[in-house]
Amino acid sequence: MKQLLVLLIFSTHSFLALSQKLTVTDLTCDYKINPIGIGTLNSGFSWKIASKERNVIQKAYQLRVATDQADLKRGKNLIWDSGKVNTDQSTHISFPVSDTKSGQRYFWQVKVWDNKGNASAWSKVNFWETGLNKSDWSAKWIEANQVTDGKVVPVPMFFKAFKISSPIKSARLYITAHGLYEAKLNGAKVSNHLLTPGWTSYENRLQYQVYDVTEMLKQGSNSTVVSVGDGWYRGNLQWTNKRNFFGKEPGLLYQLEITHNDGTKQVIVSDNSWRSSFDSPIRSSDIYNGETFDSRLDKTILSDESIKNWQPVRVVNYSMDNIVAQEGPPVIKHEEFKPVKFITTPKGEKVIDFGQNLVGWVQLKVKGKSGDTIKIYHAEVLDSSGNFYTENLRSAKQENIYVLNGMSQVLEPHFTFQGFRFIKIVGQAEKMDTENFTAVAIYSDMQPTGDFTSSHSLLNQLQHNIQWGQKGNFVDIPTDCPQRDERLGWTGDAQVFFNTAAYNMNVASFFTKWLQDVKADQYADGRIPAVIPVTQKRANDGSAGWADVGTIIPWNFYEAYGDKSLLSRQYESMKKWVDYISSVSKNNLWNNGSHYGDWLFYTMADDRDGKAALTDKHLIAQAFYAASTQNVINAANILGRTEDVSKYTALLSDVKDAFNKEYVTPSGRLVSSSQTAYVLALYFDLLPESSRKQAAVRLVENIKSYKDHITTGFLGTPYICHVLTRYGYTDVAYKLLMQETYPSWLYPVKKGATTIWERWDGIKPDGSFQATSMNSFNHYAYGAIGDWMYRTIGGIAQSKPGYKQISIAPQPGGGLTSAAADLETLYGKLSSSWKLDGNRMSLEVEVPPNTTAKVVLPKSASAEVTESGTTLSKVKDITVNSGPDKDIELTLGSGTYEFEYTISSR
The least CB distance from residue 155 to ligand BGC, in Å, is 29
The least CB distance from residue 674 to ligand BGC, in Å, is 18
Stretch that binds ligand BGC, among 22-30, 272-280, 490-498, 632-640 (CB under 6 A): 490-498
38, 142, 317, 594 from 135: Cα distances, Å: 16, 18, 15, 44
The least CB distance from residue 397 to ligand BGC, in Å, is 19
The yes or no reply on residue 492 touching ligand BGC (CB under 6 A) is yes
User: Which of 198, 239, 214, 421 lies closest to 327 in space, CA to CA?
Assistant: 198
Let me know: does 354 contact 440? Beta carbons within 8 Å: no
Q: Which of 349, 486, 824, 867 is catalytic?
A: 486
What distance in Å separates the CA atoms of residue 717 and residue 719, rounded to the nearest whole number? Answer: 6
User: Which of 339, 354, 334, 236 lies closest to 289 in space, CA to CA?
Assistant: 236
DSSP calls for 482-546 = SSSS----BHHHHHHHHHHHHHHB--HHHHHHHHHHHHHHS-TTS---SBSS--S--TTTT-TTT
The yes or no reply on residue 481 touching ligand BGC (CB under 6 A) is yes
User: Which of 182, 220, 222 lies closest to 304 in space, CA to CA?
Assistant: 222
Stretch that binds ligand BGC, among 124-132, 222-230, 484-492, 601-609 (CB under 6 A): 484-492
The least CB distance from residue 440 to ligand BGC, in Å, is 25
CB closer to ligand BGC, 130 vs 778: 778
The least CB distance from residue 492 to ligand BGC, in Å, is 5
Q: Which of 257, 399, 758, 846 is catalytic?
A: 758
CB closer to ligand BGC, 59 vs 394: 394
Q: Which of residues 779-838 bind ligand BGC (CB under 6 A)?
A: 779
CB closer to ligand BGC, 779 vs 804: 779
What distance in Å separates the CA atoms of residue 110 and residue 24, rounded to the nearest whole number? Answer: 7
Stretch that binds ligand BGC, among 250-258, 423-431, 489-497, 815-823 (CB under 6 A): 489-497
| Residue nearest ligand BGC, CB atom distance | 480
CB closer to ligand BGC, 456 vs 779: 779
The yes or no reply on residue 541 touching ligand BGC (CB under 6 A) is no
CB closer to ligand BGC, 161 vs 763: 763
Q: What is the DSSP letter of 586?
A: B
Q: Which of residues 297-356 bind ligand BGC (CB under 6 A)?
A: none
Q: Which of residues 175-234 bind ligand BGC (CB under 6 A)?
A: none
User: Which of 893, 904, 718, 711 lies closest to 56 in space, CA to CA?
Assistant: 893
CB closer to ligand BGC, 161 vs 781: 781
Let me know: does 356 contact 350? Beta carbons within 8 Å: no
Site string for ligand BGC, 588-627 (x = CB under 6 A): --------x--x----------------------------
Catalytic: 889?
A: no
Catalytic: 399?
A: no
The yes or no reply on residue 498 touching ligand BGC (CB under 6 A) is no
Let me know: does 177 contact 323? Beta carbons within 8 Å: no
Beta carbons within 8 Å of 650's beta carbon, 6+ residues apart: none
DSSP calls for 429-470 = GGG--GGGEEEEEEEE-PPB-EEEEES-HHHHHHHHHHHHHH
What distance in Å separates the CA atoms of residue 38 and residue 168, rounded to the nearest whole number? Answer: 23
What distance in Å separates the CA atoms of residue 6 and residue 12, rounded to the nearest whole number? Answer: 10
Q: Which of residues 373-402 bind ligand BGC (CB under 6 A)?
A: none
What distance in Å separates the CA atoms of residue 854 and residue 266, rounded to the nearest whole number? Answer: 58
CB closer to ligand BGC, 445 vs 480: 480
The least CB distance from residue 331 to ligand BGC, in Å, is 21
CB closer to ligand BGC, 114 vs 493: 493
CB closer to ligand BGC, 183 vs 781: 781
- Tell which one of 291, 383, 493, 598 touches ligand BGC (CB under 6 A): 493
- Tell which one of 486, 517, 521, 548 touches ligand BGC (CB under 6 A): 486
Q: Which of residues 421-480 bind ligand BGC (CB under 6 A)?
A: 480
Beta carbons within 8 Å of 275's beta carbon, 6+ residues apart: 158, 159, 160, 307, 310, 311, 312, 313
- Tell which one of 159, 361, 437, 490 touches ligand BGC (CB under 6 A): 490
The least CB distance from residue 797 to ligand BGC, in Å, is 27
What distance in Å separates the CA atoms of residue 533 and residue 13, rounded to the nearest whole number? Answer: 56
What distance in Å separates the CA atoms of residue 38 and residue 209, rounded to the nearest whole number? Answer: 10
Give the DSSP H/E element, type plus range, for residue 234: helix 231-234
The least CB distance from residue 614 to ligand BGC, in Å, is 15
Binding-site size for ligand BGC (CB under 6 A) equals 10
What distance in Å separates the CA atoms of residue 96 and residue 621, rounded to the nearest whole number? Answer: 42
The least CB distance from residue 443 to ligand BGC, in Å, is 18
User: Known catalytic residues?
Assistant: 486, 758
| Binding stretches for ligand BGC (CB under 6 A) | 480-481, 486, 490, 492-493, 596, 599, 774, 779
